[in-house]
Structure formats: C-alpha cells, structure tokens
Amino acid sequence: MVAYGNTDVPIYKSQDAIRKILVNHGVKGVQFSENFETREIIVKFAKDVAGNLRTVKVNMTIPEPPQPKRKRSSAGRYSYSSHKMVYNKTPAEKAEQMARATYRALHYWLKSQFEAVDYGLLSFESVFLAHFEWMIDGRPATVGSLILPYLETPQLRAPSAEEVLEGEVT
C-alpha cells in the first residue's frame, strides 16, 4: 500500500490545509492546477524572501494505483472496523484514491518543509531552491529542471563514497 493510500480526506480539504500552511508562512498567493491526461498536479506559490519575490513551482505526477496482491470476490467483504461492506474499487475510484493520497502527501511534505524552516534547520531557499521558477529566454523553468540534465554529464561528478567518508571533498 502506498503512503496515505487509505486516506478519506477529500482533495479540496487537502488543498485547504495546504493553503492554510502557506498563508501562515506569508505566501502571497497559491495556484493549484491539474492535467487530467498526464495526471500531473502543479502547485505554485509566491513568497517574499528578503525583499525578493520567489515563485515556487512543485510538479507531481499522481502514481498509478498499485496492483492488487490477490483477486477478491466481486461480492465484497464485511469490514468489522467500519461496520460496512467493502467492495472492489473501480479503476476510476482507484485513480481518485491515488489523487487524494498524492494531495495528502503534498500537504505533509510542505508542512515538514516549513517546519524545518521555522525551526532554523534550513533556509527557505535551501528547502525550495530546486522548485524556484525563473524566466529563461521568456519561458518559465525551475532551477531543478535546469540542473537535472547536467547530473548525467561527465562535467559534473558526485564525490565517491570513499571521498565522502574520508572527508577529502572540497
């Protein structure tokens, strides 16, 4: 089962909880958008950081529902915890469940990121740098989308395990 895979929290309540977190942290506005064909969710928000307005864009793709481990009877089964019959979900119900789970995961991810900033573990820039959106040649791009292609090139090299463990990386 995926994280939050059994959540009953509707998407709109997760969005409201996300809005509340963002408002409590001085965000100027938030935008939620979805692409139903690609199952992509995009959340954008703007925050003033030391006199500079930063736009943060978080892209997620709703995962496909996990395959059942075993075949269940289409007649359903009785749930003693909820005191009702539970039937196999349709593909649309499974997709909706994954969307609810994705929004819940996003809510708790954002909450934990802002808690790290509030506590002083990390700066806002450190937490969200990969998601900062900039206009490059008239088109929006996140810092992460600009850097990711270079991670597989010979010009960039991650330190080896030995270098990290021996402290030789400068």
pLDDT per residue rounded down to tens, the chain (170 residues):
567 878 889 999 999 999 999 999 999 999 999 999 999 999 999 999 989 999 999 999 999 887 766 665 555 555 565 555 555 778 888 889 999 999 999 999 999 999 999 999 999 999 999 999 999 999 999 999 998 888 878 777 777 888 888 875 55
Query: What type of residue is 136?
Result: I
Neighbour count for residue 145 (Cβ, 10 Å): 16
Query: 127-130, long-range: CB within 8 Å, 24+ apart, which pairs?
Result: 128/54, 128/56
AA letter at 111: K
pLDDT at res. 40: 96
Are residues 2 and 63 in contact, defined by beta-carbon separation less than 8 angstroms?
Answer: yes
The tokens for 160 are 């080896």
Residue type, position 43, single letter: V
* CA-CA-CA-CA torsion sign (84, 89, 92, 93): positive
Q: Is the pTM of this model over 0.85?
A: no
User: In sequence order, what are the beta bridge partners of 17?
Assistant: none
